[in-house]
Amino acid sequence: MHLSRDEEEALQGERGETLRRAMEILVALGDIYSADRLIPVRSVQVAGVSFKTIGEAGLEWISDLRGRVLVPSVLNPAGMDLSRWREMGIDEKFANKQIEIVDAYKSLGISPDCTCTPYSIRPDSARKGDHLAWSESSAVSFANSVIGAKTNREGGPSALAAALVGKTPRYGYHLEENRIPTIKISVDAYLDPSDYGLLGYIVGREVGEGVPRFRFRRRPEIDELKALGAAMAASGSVALYYFDEDAPSAPKGSEQITVTAEDLRAVREENAPDDEVDIVAVGCPHSSPKELEELARLLEGKKVEREFWICTARGIAERCPKLVEKIEGSGAKVFCDTCMVVSPASDRYKKMMVNSGKALAYVPGLCKIKAAFGSNEECVRAATRRN
Ligand code: F3S
């Protein structure tokens, strides 16, 4: 990989140990993927934040770094709401470690916005055509597919290295030739909003890391696209998809898959909730203001009978205090900075009902509890139903 003189000097350690280590990571990645050079990024989203996932070793690695990030950078969700962790049932030992991790990132100049929807709180962090170094798979998918920016799915260390250097190796989804659709998906069903997560769950399993091009009966809404991309990135590893009429076509002879109403119904039935559900959690990816509004409407005049968590970005909760108040009036809890998958607080339940194809794919493996799926209405019904 070609390096400029500045980059070469940083790699040789002439700009300090932290930059040397960051450059070492970027150069190693660039060499593995045959990148020709480093390119500047507009923003970075760093994964590897929850103490549940990175543990002591990760905390030590981050705490050792010195320096400042060169581009606007935010964090992925942490293992707890940074201020209401006691209400989540998080113990003090975990909380202290989690706060240490976030503080270590803050000391590098990274904003402690812990969210998988950085685009919702900082719309200028990613614009069409921008190169980014984002980590969280649903955010990566949204950036590539809905915003039209360009990012690979970075690991925690490579995103952090990109933030410190302000650049990333030019390979993968930064190159036009890797952004061509590889498979056609025809959706032969009228979809309601909750179907997009299920559709992504089905398609991700089929296409793995392909680039699907969808044909829909109607143009999906933004939150539907968010759910679709998140689920495909979890059940498969889709980082880019197309949904627009004027999107590039898949080359002639590309494989084609049709998803029918029957396919969706089968997955819905397979994952239907039952009496074992002892927690309901929505907001994967983090809830938008529109989704909070819908939940506030559905919960109006009701009381929850079991734990009901709504996960969102702190910036969104702060923007919508009345909605948060309305939702919490029912006994449901709006938690920020975290989510049901990366928080150890989920692990003490038996079965979690979710409205997200991504959470449906991840909860059993990462929380070691069972998962069930339903729409927002069904989630509210399950949360407010008396035993
Ligand atoms: Fe976000 Fe957690 Fe889901 S990081 S996409 S809410 S698994």
Spatial separation of the C-alpha atoms in residues 270 and 287, rounded to whole Å: 25
Atom of ligand 1 nearest to the CA of 76: 4
pLDDT band, residue 246 (cuts 50/70/90): confident
Given ligand 1 and candidates 53, 54, 120, 286, which is best to mutate, with the most ligand atoms within 8 Å of its CB? Answer: 286
- Nearest atom (ligand 1) to Cα of 283: 6
- Residue 181: φ, ψ to 5°: -55, 145
Model pLDDT, residue 357: 97
- Pinpoint the alpha helices (H) of the chain: 5-11, 17-32, 51-63, 92-107, 118-121, 137-142, 156-165, 195-207, 222-235, 261-270, 289-299, 314-319, 321-328, 357-362, 376-384
Ligand 1 atom 5: residue of nearest CA: 285
Average pLDDT score over residue span 202-207: 96
User: Residue of the nearest CA to atom 4 in ligand 1?
Assistant: 116
Q: Residue 284 Cα, ligand 1 centroid: separation in angstroms?
A: 5
Mean pLDDT calculated for residue range 291-309: 97
What pLDDT was estimated at residue 167? 98
What confidence category does residue 24 fall into, taking pLDDT thresholds of 50, 70 and 90? very high
Lowest mean pLDDT among 8-22, 237-251, 284-298: 237-251
CA distances 117 to 124, 284, 366, Å, are 13, 10, 20
Q: What are phi and psi of 215, to 5 degrees?
A: -125, 115
CA of 339 to the centre of ligand 1 (A): 6
**DSSP state letter for 251:** P
Beta-carbon contacts of 32 under 8 Å, excluding residues fewer than 6 positions away, are none
pLDDT at 20 over 90: yes
Per-residue pLDDT, averaged over 261-276, amounts to: 97
Per-residue pLDDT tens digits for 70-81: 999 999 999 999
Count of H-run helices and E-run strands, the chain = 15, 12
For residue 126, what are its two tokens?
Answer: 């990613």
Ligand 1: residue whose CA is nearest its atom 7: 341
**pLDDT band at residue 244 using 50, 70 and 90 as cut-offs:** confident
pLDDT of residue 119: 97
Measured distance CA(244)–CA(4) in Å, rounded: 39
Q: Is the pLDDT of residue 107 over 90?
A: yes
How many angstroms is it from 2 CA to the middle of ligand 1? Answer: 36
Helix axes 195-207, 261-270, angle to 10 degrees: 100
- Locate the ligand 1 atom nearest the alpha carbon of residue 136 and give its number: 4
Question: Is residue 387 scored above 80 in pLDDT?
Answer: no
Supply the residue whose CA is at minimum distance from atom 1 of ligand 1: 285
Q: Which atom of ligand 1 is nearest to the CA of 341?
A: 7
220-232, pLDDT tens digit by residue?
Answer: 999 999 999 999 9
Which atom of ligand 1 is nearest to 342's Cα?
A: 2
What confidence tier does 362 reach under pLDDT thresholds 50, 70, 90? very high
pLDDT of 280 above 80: yes
How many whole angstroms from 355 Cα to the centroid of ligand 1? 12
Report the pLDDT value the prediction gives residue 245, as an integer from 0 to 100. Answer: 84
**Residue-level pLDDT at 328:** 98
| Average pLDDT for the chain | 97
Ligand 1: centre distance to CA 167 (Å)? 25
Ligand 1 centroid–CA 164 distance in Å is 25
Which atom of ligand 1 is closest in space to residue 340's alpha carbon?
2
Residue list, ligand 1 pocket, CB within 6 Å? 77, 116, 136, 138, 230, 284-286, 311, 339, 341-342, 358-359, 362
Instruction: Name which of 59-63, 95-99, 247-251, 293-297 the model is least confident about.
Output: 247-251
Q: 192-207 in b/e burial notation, b at 16+ Cβ within 10 A?
A: ebbbbbbbbbbbbebb
Residue 254 CB partners (closer than 8 Å, separation 6+)? 181, 182, 183, 184
d(CA 122, CA 33): 30
Which is the closest atom of ligand 1 to the Cα of 285? 5
| Confidence (pLDDT) at 386 | 85
What is the Cα gyration radius of the chain? 21
- What is the residue with the minimal CA distance to atom 2 of ligand 1? 339
Cβ neighbours for 29, distance < 8 A, ≥ 6 positions apart = 35, 158, 169, 171
